[in-house]
């Protein structure tokens, strides 16, 4: 039996609470340390969550021999720096989405981890839900016919708390990198590649991209339309349309609370078939990461998709941080 993988956590924000709880309930891993810019906050968080070690600053955690892997739950602009720093210290990297703020940084992160011989994975939960595996089977198995179009709409209405990093472009804020990670990621996941072209129309408000509408074209004659915003009610839906049928899901990023995860297949006659699933996407994500660390599985497909997603987002980001019509 392999020893438990010891996780250290960078940052004490909102998502940290959720993932620390999932890590602590997962088999074969434990959380041994947490670091904050503020040592008192690290101590408070450690006490609240029963984490044995509180560290003063992120570098101290990277250099600690108490952890094998780090979970990076910082604002996006800090992901690349601390992931590359973690790799240099021989630590495996589980990094929150978006992986980084640019495609070039994502490639740098990937190369740094490869040179150090450590694993990395982006914490994109929906990819690890059993429903997603079944959708992939349907999409690639021919049930829908030849796939032609993907549409995804992801939004939350004014989801901010005071001092929210999502309102600060310098920290990688804005809806394009935040919710766009899911929507553009779904398009790349379906097409199996980054697009050849992206046209993105971004509406700016308060110095960040507040709404984005985009059209992507992929080399295999797949197209995608994307809508993300901080100014419409919660949406997390998608459709993948083939020549014979479509698959539709109204909560692909995370199942609605108190409802089973499900999707519907609508065919050309109007017939509808629904499937339902159980499972915890975060626990599966942690299990996949652990399994790669102990050499039992391979994360290449996930990493390739993360890089394709980052590339797509960079194509959608013009020189002013939005409004792009780009051709690779
Ligand atoms: N997978 C998901 O479902 C999901 C959901 C929400 C968010 N996320 C992602 O998780 C990451 C963190 O999001 P969050 O909502 O947890 O953020 P948050 O609440 O703002 O927390 C971020 C943490 O980063 C640290 N930090 C370091 N430098 C900072 C700076 N200059 N400004 C603000 N915070 C700074 C802070 O911890 P210390 O000061 O204690 O060091 C802070 O608590 C983002 O990349 C976000 O996109 C993922």
Predicted confidence at residue 328, as pLDDT, reads 38
Counting DSSP H helices and E strands in the chain, the numbers are: 10, 15
Residue 134 pLDDT > 70, yes or no? yes
For the stretch 243-267, pLDDT in tens is 999 999 999 999 999 899 999 999 9
Residues in the ligand 1 pocket, defined by CB under 6 Å: 11-16, 36-38, 41, 73-76, 78, 96-97, 123, 125, 165, 171, 178
Residue 76 DSSP symbol: G
pLDDT value for 327: 41
Per-residue pLDDT, 163: 85
pLDDT confidence tier of residue 2, bands split at 50, 70 and 90: low
Confidence of residue 184 (pLDDT cuts 50, 70, 90): very high
Residue 320 — pLDDT band, cuts 50, 70, 90?
very low
Q: How confident is the model at residue 324 (pLDDT cuts 50, 70, 90)?
A: low
- Mean pLDDT confidence for 226-244: 98
Ligand 1: which atom is nearest the Cα of residue 178?
Answer: 47
Q: Ligand 1, from 9, 10, 12, 13: best to mutate by most atoms within 8 Å of Cβ? A: 13
Distance 262 CA to ligand 1 centre (A): 30
Determine the 3-state secondary structure of 8 from DSSP: strand
User: What percentage of residues in the chain have a pLDDT greater than 90?
Assistant: 94
Q: How would residue 233 be classed by pLDDT, with cut points 50, 70 and 90?
A: very high
Which one of 10, 74, 100, 313 would you pick to mutate in the ligand 1 pocket, going by the greatest count of ligand atoms within 8 A of its CB?
Answer: 74
pLDDT of residue 199 exceeding 80: yes
325 pLDDT band (50/70/90 cuts)?
A: low
What would the pLDDT profile of 258-294 be if each residue is shown by its tens digit?
A: 899 999 999 999 999 999 999 999 999 999 999 999 9
Q: Which residues contact 63 (CB under 8 A, 6 or more apart)?
A: 89
Distance 15 CA to ligand 1 centre (A): 7
Taking CA atoms only, the protein residue closest to ligand 1 atom 24 is 74
Tell me the average pLDDT across 36-58.
98
Per the prediction, the chain carries an average pLDDT of 95
Nearest residue to 22 (alpha-carbon basis) of 7, 12, 10: 7
Please pick, among 97, 148, 219, 283, the residue that the annotation labels catalytic.
97
148 is catalytic: no
**Mean pLDDT of all residues in 134-143:** 97
| Residue to probe by mutation, ligand 1, list 9, 15, 58, most atoms within 8 Å of CB | 15
- Find residue 245's DSSP bridge partners: 267
- Please compute the mean of the pLDDT values over residues 185-195 and round it to a whole number: 98
d(CA 89, CA 72) in angstroms, rounded, equals: 14
Helix (H) or strand (E) holding 155, with range, is strand 147-155
114, containing H or E segment: helix 103-116
pLDDT at 162: 84
pLDDT per position as a tens digit, 50-66: 999 999 999 999 999 99
Which uninterrupted H or E stretch holds 326?
A: strand 324-327
pTM of the model: 0.96
Query: Across residues 166-190, what is the average pLDDT?
Result: 98
Cβ neighbours of residue 118 closer than 8 Å, sequence gap 6 or more: 86, 87, 90, 91, 92, 93
d(CA 200, CA 189): 19
CA 11 to centroid of ligand 1, rounded, Å: 7
Distance from Cα 59 to the centre of ligand 1, integer Å:
17
Burial degree of 258 (CB within 10 A; 0-12, 13-18, 19+): exposed
Q: Considering the chain, what percentage of its residues have pLDDT values greater than 70? A: 96
- pLDDT in the model for residue 288: 98
Torsions phi, psi of 241, nearest 5? -105, 125
């Amino acid at each position: 039996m392999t020893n438990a993988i010891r996780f250290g956590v960078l940052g004490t924000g909102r998502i940290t609470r959720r993932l620390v709880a999932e890590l602590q309930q997962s088999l074969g891993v434990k959380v041994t340390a947490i670091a904050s810019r503020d040592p008192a906050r690290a101590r408070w968080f450690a006490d609240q969550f029963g984490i044995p070690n509180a560290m003063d600053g992120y570098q101290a955690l990277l250099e600690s021999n108490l952890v094998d892997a780090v979970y990076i739950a910082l604002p996006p602009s800090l992901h690349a720096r601390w992931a590359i720093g973690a790799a240099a210290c021989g630590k495996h990297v589980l990094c929150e989405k978006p992986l980084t703020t640019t495609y070039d940084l994502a490639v740098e992160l990937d190369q740094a981890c490869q040179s150090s011989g450590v694993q990395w994975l982006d914490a994109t939960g929906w990819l690890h839900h059993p429903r997603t595996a079944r959708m992939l089977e349907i999409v690639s198995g021919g049930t829908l016919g030849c796939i032609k179009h993907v549409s995804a709409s992801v939004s939350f209405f004014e989801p901010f708390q005071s001092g929210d990093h999502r309102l600060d472009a310098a920290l990688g804020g804005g809806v394009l990198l935040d919710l766009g990670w899911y929507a553009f990621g779904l398009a790349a996941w379906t097409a199996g590649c980054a697009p050849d072209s992206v046209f993105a129309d971004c509406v700016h408000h308060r110095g960040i991209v507040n709404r984005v509408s985009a059209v992507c074209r992929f080399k295999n004659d797949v197209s995608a339309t994307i809508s993300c915003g901080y100014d419409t009610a919660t949406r997390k839906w998608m459709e993948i349309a083939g020549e014979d049928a479509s698959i539709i899901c109204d909560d692909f990023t995370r199942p609605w609370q108190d409802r089973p995860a499900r999707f519907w297949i609508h065919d050309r006659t109007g017939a509808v078939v629904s499937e339902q699933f159980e499972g915890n996407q975060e626990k599966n994500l942690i299990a996949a990461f652990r399994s790669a660390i102990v050499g039992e599985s391979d994360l290449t497909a996930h990493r390739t998709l993360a890089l394709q997603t980052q590339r797509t987002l960079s194509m959608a980001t013009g020189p002013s941080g939005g409004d792009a019509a780009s051709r690779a």
